[in-house]
Structure 1
Amino acid sequence: MSVLIIGNVSNDVLRTKKYFNRIGIINVHSFSTVDAVMNYISDVYKEDIDLIIFDVKLTLTNCEEICQQIEILNNWIQVPILLSTSYEKTIIIDRVFDAGIFDFILKPFDFTQFKARVHVALKYREEAKLRKQQESSQLKDLAIAKKVQKNAFTPSLKLEHIEFDGLYVTSNTLGGDMYCWFKINDDLTAVLLYDVMGHGIAASLVTMSIRSLLRGLITRLIDPVCVITELNRRIYELFSDEDMDSFLVTAIYILIDTKNGTLHYINASHPPGLLFGKYGETVLLQPNTPILGLFPTIQINKKSIQLSGWHRIILYTDGMLALTENQTVDLNYFHSYASQDNAYALQKFSQKYDLFENNYTDDITVVSITITL
């Protein structure tokens, strides 16, 4: 622990040092000016400083100059600053507090007052250091959690008639987006994109809990109505406590049958997907089923679309709507890359909107599926 005293009145500085020695603080350094402190102490030794005593002759005339020096100190190091002065007019004291002092000590010195104010400042400093350590640890945990969540996304898949690719841009917090696809057999392939409402660690845990269910659930039940019925039931049972009623889930589930040239889908209150045809025709995969997790049973509606030739399907989460001020994104952009594969189209889309160059409050997730029959 180190204490700095800044002041040019030698008697006051010596008395302050003696008071620190009386309360067991020996490592005390004194400097005549703020500039001297900043020129002498390197960034390495700054870590050891826990308190600054700024001893000044404060007047109405020099108040602004003193306040500027306090602001310079606060920008240089984040430790409590105690202003030692004999001037105590309210207007001046208010101004130096606005500038960033933690507390003040009035002259002539009273040891009891000095000891009490120093102890309060040092206790605050210890608590601030502890909070900083906890925040650093939480940031490391958050980075690991983000990586784990990102690794849970299904990698690109290329089959004889279908290609699956996804784009996921993490927000500044953990989010609730997830996609996965499974080859069920030679003819059937399923894809599910879902979004847990909310942000942060809790939403991420719910997302990962649902993700752990999906392979067994989808490959066993296959049919969209059965899959969504069971998924809704599981979500409701897992997260229907009164403290967890905010964890509702939007989802879109698609089953592609290449043998019969058919696409079956259920959209549970999710943003509408887009199905592009080779010649520019577009079909919206509109919501047709309630949000998941609100009730134990819901009415589920499945819709089927016949496929032939080339098609591209674009699915996304509502984080896409935050890319522009008017909350609209030109998803027809993907059709302009009809002759290119999914990965290239997603790359060009991310470049157009600078997805990896900005910080967003919500995750941004896009899935591109190309079907060639």
Structure 2
Amino acid sequence: MPPTAPCRRWWRPRREAEAMAQPVRALLVDDDPVLLALLSAFLDSRGYAVAQAPDGQAALALLEGGGFNLVITDRNMPRMDGLALCRAIRARQDASYVYCIMLTASVDQQSLVDAMEAGVDDFLAKPLRPAELGARLRAAERVLALEARLAARNEELTGAYAQLSRDLDLARSLQLAQLPAPQSFGGVHLEGLFEASSFVGGDLYDYFALGDRLLAFYLADISGHGVAAAMMAVSAQHQLRAVSQQVVRAIDPGAGLQQAAVEIVTRYNSRFLEMNDSSLYLTLVYGLLDRATGTAALVSAGHPPVLHAAAGSPVFEPVGQGSLPVGILPDPGYEARLVTLAPGSRLALYSDGITDCSGADGEPFGLQRLQDLLAAGRSQSPAAGFAAVREALHGWHHGSFEDDVTLLLLESR
């Protein structure tokens, strides 16, 4: 009589109503061929795909082919026992979870602890009982079904994350493309450094000519990080350019740089409040330079003060003090400070992502270190100075920056 005949009298085959969406591929591991035949027939009646191995080493060879999600193994076997097999399974990097059930005649506490530490999920005591075997398999099916759903969800999330990463990479490229390239306007040279703390950042700088004499330049820092701040930065760039053009065309030429600079920042603040219904705001330092006289008017809206190094001096001194950020009050009362830029002088506009950058012990990089770096690079090109600042910051703070790092240098030549 075939070995499966007694099995048909041993139990009545059942098909579970809650069958898994994908079939179970079971690997039976035991050195007893009769028990393997009994288990194979039982699992086959439930729609499982079944393979057999006489010991742990043979089972591992079959597992190399992949696809198994259930292993039922005896504890005591030649060459490799069930505990060693389960430990080897848990050490593998399988694409999906493998549920392990151990057959054992030892049900003492230490044996169960050893099995669980080896990675066993469930136990079947010998001799086997059909009702208990069916219950154990139903529990395995629920776990494997849940794991399959989680794997499918993870695959969807992985795909969504990959698409998001591609979109953010594109957004980063577009944001960097919006920043102006190093440029000279007659005897004035401007160049910037920008390094975002994430894919996209909330800092920006810009500079552009306003007619034949005036030159506008600024550095802004949007509150927060990520996509929302980056979108606000793009809007700020367009709005500041538009407002600057409107004010310069409309204002009385004899009114002076200070009034024009204050009017530009004040109008932009009003537009920001009208158009922005979120909690975002920004700090801004805005400069308006008369290239004919070398005089610049600087307005600081909640931003760190501009650093100025006079011609022939390596020392960078702060100019003025900040007021309220843009987007807080409708009439913040901005003021402008004048500074004369003789040939050989420099201005440095920076974001607090530099000075607040924390070291391993939490100490901020600080203004003095930035001033020292700028002073050391006084005779170098702006590009060399940026390289020194970047190197110092990465040496100070290992890993990604917590905030965007932005620096703009203006040099009168």
1:148 to 1:97, Cα distance in 2 relative to 1, 3 A: farther
**Which of the residues 309, 333, 336 maps onto 2:373?**
333
Kindly tell me: are residues 279 and 230 of structure 1, through their superposed partners in 2, closer, same or farther at Cα, counting changes over 3 Å? same
Structure 2 distance, partners of 1:115, 1:199, is 44
Deviation at 1:285, TM superposition (A): 2.9
1:108-131 per-position Cα deviation (integer Å, ceiling 9, x unaligned): 521544443332222222112112
Contact map agreement 1:163 1:342 (CA 8 A) in 2? no
Contact 2:295 2:341 in 1 (8 A): yes
Structure 2 partner of 1:80: 97
Change (3 A) 1:346 1:117: closer
Structure 2 vs 1, CA of residues 359 and 97 (structure 1 numbering), >3 Å: closer, same or farther? farther
1:274 is the counterpart of 2:307: yes
1:181 aligns with 2:207: yes
* Residues 105 and 113, structure 1, Cα contact 8 Å, conserved in 2: no
Q: Tell me the residue number matched to 2:127.
A: none
Cα gap change, 1:194 to 1:116, in 2 (>3 Å): same
Does 92-101 or 109-118 show the bigger shift?
A: 92-101
Q: 1:274 touches 1:285 (CA, 8 Å); kept in 2?
A: yes
Count of paired positions = 352
The match for 1:363 is 404
Runs in 1 of length 4+ with deviation above 6 angstroms? 28-31, 87-101
Structure 1 position 93, deviation (Å): 7.9
Structure 2 distance, partners of 1:129, 1:148, is: 29
1:67 Cα deviation after fit: 6.9
Name 1:36's counterpart in structure 2: 61
In the alignment, does 2:340 pair up with 1:310?
A: no
Q: Deviations over 1:233-278 (max 9, x none)?
A: 22222223xxx21x11011101111212211111111122211122
The aligned residue for residue 286 of structure 2 is 253
Q: Structure 1: which amino acid aligns with 2:133?
A: F
8 Å CA contact 1:171–1:362 kept in 2: the answer is yes
Tell me if structure 2 keeps the 8 A contact 1:54–1:83.
yes
- The structural deviation recorded for 1:21 is 7.9
Q: Taking structure 1 as reference, are residues 139 and 96 closer, same or farther at Cα in structure 2, changes over 3 Å only?
A: farther
1:197 deviation in Å? 0.9
TM-score normalized by the length of structure 1? 0.80
Shift, 1:219, TM fit: 2.4
Given the superposition, is the C-alpha separation of residues 358 and 82 from structure 1 closer, same or farther in structure 2, using an over 3 Å criterion? Answer: same
Give 1:370 deviation, angstroms. Answer: 0.6
Mark the runs of 5 or more structure 1 residues left unpaired by the alignment: none
State how 1:66-215 maps to structure 2 within 5 Å. Answer: 68-73=87-92, 76-86=93-103, 104-107=121-124, 108-110=132-134, 111-215=137-241
* Residues 6 and 199 of structure 1: CA distance in aligned 2, closer, same or farther (over 3 Å): farther
Structure 1 stretch displaced more, 89-98 or 256-265: 89-98
Counterpart of 2:97, as a letter, is P
Write the deviation string for residues 266-304 of structure 1: whole angstroms up to 9, x where unpaired.
111112221112223433034332011122331111111
**Residues 337 and 105 from structure 1, CA distance in 2 versus in 1: closer, same or farther, beyond 3 angstroms?**
same
What SS is found at the alignment partner of 1:310? Answer: coil
Between the two structures, name the one with larger relative contact order (CA 8 Å, sep ≥ 6): 1
Change (3 A) 1:118 1:276: same
Between the aligned partners of 2:327 and 2:117, the Cα distance in structure 1 is 50
Q: Cα deviation per residue 1:191-231 (whole Å; 9 max; x = unaligned)?
A: 11111111122222222222232322222224221111122
Larger radius of gyration: 2
5+ long unaligned stretches in structure 2: 1-21, 125-131, 249-259
Specify whether residues 17 and 260 from structure 1 end up closer, same or farther in structure 2 by C-alpha distance, changes over 3 A only.
farther
Which residue number in structure 2 is paired with residue 228 of structure 1? 265
- Rounded to whole Å, the distance in 1 between the matches of 2:216 and 2:300 is 14
Go from structure 1 to structure 2 and tell me whether the alpha carbon gap of 1:153 and 1:63 turns closer, same or farther (over 3 Å shift): farther
Please tell me the root mean square deviation across aligned C-alpha atoms, in Å.
Answer: 3.6
| Greater mean alpha carbon deviation, residues 147-156 or residues 88-97 | 88-97
CA shift, 1:96, in A, is 7.9
Distance 1:19 1:256, change over 3 A: farther
- State the SS of the aligned residue for 1:168: strand
1:292 and 1:194, CA in 2 relative to 1: closer, same or farther beyond 3 A? Answer: same
TM superposition shift of 1:79:
2.4
TM-score (norm 2): 0.73
Maintained 8 Å contact 1:80/1:125: no
1:35 Cα deviation after fit: 5.0
Deviations 1:147-180 (A, max 9, x none): 1111111111112211111111122342211111
Residue 322 in structure 1 maps to residue 360 in structure 2: no
Q: In the alignment, is the contact (CA less than 8 A) between 1:178 and 1:193 conserved in 2? A: yes
How far has the Cα of 1:68 moved from its partner?
Answer: 4.4
Cα distance in 2, alignment partners of residues 233 and 16 from structure 1: 78
Aligned AA for 1:226? E
CA distance in 1, matches of 2:262, 2:319: 16
Are 2:207 and 2:215, in contact at CA under 8 Å, matched by a contact in 1? yes
